[in-house]
Amino acid sequence: MTNIHKYTDQNRIAWDEIAQQRHMAMFPSASFFAEGGSVLADNVVAAAGDVRGLRLLHLQCSTGSDTLSWGVLGAQATGVDISPKQIEIAQHTADDAGLPVKFVAADVYGLPKELQASDFDVVFTGGGAMVWLPDIEEWARIVAAALRPGGRLLLEDEHPLASCLWIEDGELIIGSDYFARHQAIFEEAGWSHFAGGEQATETKYEFSWPLGDVITVLAKAGLYVEQLEEFPSTAAWRFGGKLDEARRLPGAYILVARKR
Ligand SMILES: C[S@@+](CC[C@H](N)C(=O)[O-])C[C@H]1O[C@@H](n2cnc3c(N)ncnc32)[C@H](O)[C@@H]1O
């Protein structure tokens, strides 16, 4: 096993720095959610089905827009993120919107015991989540511990193939190793492509987990795959003018896996 917390402790600092630089105006407002707004993509909502009354845990929820959207759709949603500053924004928005959505500041690898009590119907995560995980075997164990028997993981993320591609001098290049696994693909300071956080200087650690590994660790943790769909990328921030070319490769995926 890698020294997980060496990476996640630093990423907490980095994400708090990004949150500090971002402006509230960048996030959907409390009134947007109070009026029934949702930022979830149609294909994600379709994969989830009817979530009314379901207990849903959102891992790596950032400032909570997706979590609040699940709340609007009727789920009993709880969001978790390692960055206390982002969780503060998320809880503030929930309170102002009058939505009973709960937020917890915690490392996925140090999830409070009550969130690992096997009673969630759905664990949701994605939107750029997997690249921040230094160890996915342990992550899969935690997902399984959070789910009730018969509960589902709904993962919608950038495809790890797309995460390896980049634009350099106007050309599409292979920027990192798809098979890097425990070896961080980025260990960077002074650079950030996160909107509103471009001036961030803290080092961030990112990882590349082949899609086959993601499925294998989930199977080992006692989940079986019900759905795996690949989609072209919509990430103009990554591919810019080469987006049409990049869209010939898988750019995103939705995976649904159920606990036995
Ligand atoms: C690209 S953002 C994901 C945004 C998300 N899709 C959303 O709902 O808006 C990645 C998030 O993962 C969080 N994160 C990174 N490592 C984490 C960890 N070990 N435990 C919990 N959250 C973590 C970061 O703080 C950040 O908010």
- Closest ligand 1 atom number to CA of residue 83: 25
Our mutation pick for probing the ligand 1 site, out of 82, 133, 156, 234, counting the most ligand atoms within 8 A of Cβ, is 82
Q: Tens digits of per-residue pLDDT, 204-252?
A: 999 999 999 999 999 999 999 999 999 999 999 899 999 999 999 999 9
CB atoms within 10 A of CB 104: 17
Residue closest via CA to ligand 1's atom 15 equals 132
Residue 180 in tokens: 């890097």
Q: What is the pLDDT of residue 156?
A: 98
What's the average model confidence in pLDDT over 174-195? 83
Q: CA nearest 124: which of 183, 56, 192, 199?
A: 56
Using CB distances shorter than 6 Å, the residues near ligand 1 are 8, 11, 15, 60-62, 65-66, 81-83, 86, 107-109, 126-129, 132
- Closest ligand 1 atom number to CA of residue 63: 9
CB atoms within 10 A of CB 61: 28
Per the CB < 8 A criterion, the answer to whether 52 and 74 are in contact is yes
Q: Tens digits of per-residue pLDDT, 81-136?
A: 999 999 999 999 999 999 999 999 999 999 999 999 999 999 999 999 999 999 99
Q: What is the pLDDT of residue 1?
A: 46
| CA of residue 211 to ligand 1 center, whole Å | 19
| CA of residue 168 to ligand 1 center, whole Å | 26
Q: Is the pLDDT of residue 200 over 90?
A: no
What's the average model confidence in pLDDT over 68-77? 98
- Closest ligand 1 atom number to CA of residue 64: 8
Q: What is the pLDDT of residue 189?
A: 65
Q: Cα-flanking dihedrals φ and ψ of residue 11, to 5°?
A: -65, -30
Domain ranges in the chain are 4-159+210-236+250-259
Residue 201 in tokens: 């200087």
| CA of residue 258 to ligand 1 center, whole Å | 22
What's the average model confidence in pLDDT over 138-153? 98
Q: What is the pLDDT of residue 190?
A: 60
Residue 101 in tokens: 């959505």
Q: What is the pLDDT of residue 198?
A: 77
Residue closest via CA to ligand 1's atom 12 equals 60
| CA of residue 193 to ligand 1 center, whole Å | 15
Q: Tens digits of per-residue pLDDT, 18-43?
A: 998 887 778 899 999 999 999 999 99
Structurally, what CATH architecture does the domain formed by 4-159+210-236+250-259 represent? Answer: 3-Layer(aba) Sandwich (3.40)
pLDDT band at 195 (very low <50, low <70, confident <90, very high): confident
Q: Cα-flanking dihedrals φ and ψ of residue 131, to 5°?
A: -65, -15
Our mutation pick for probing the ligand 1 site, out of 132, 154, 202, counting the most ligand atoms within 8 A of Cβ, is 132
Cα–Cα dist 29/27, whole Å: 6
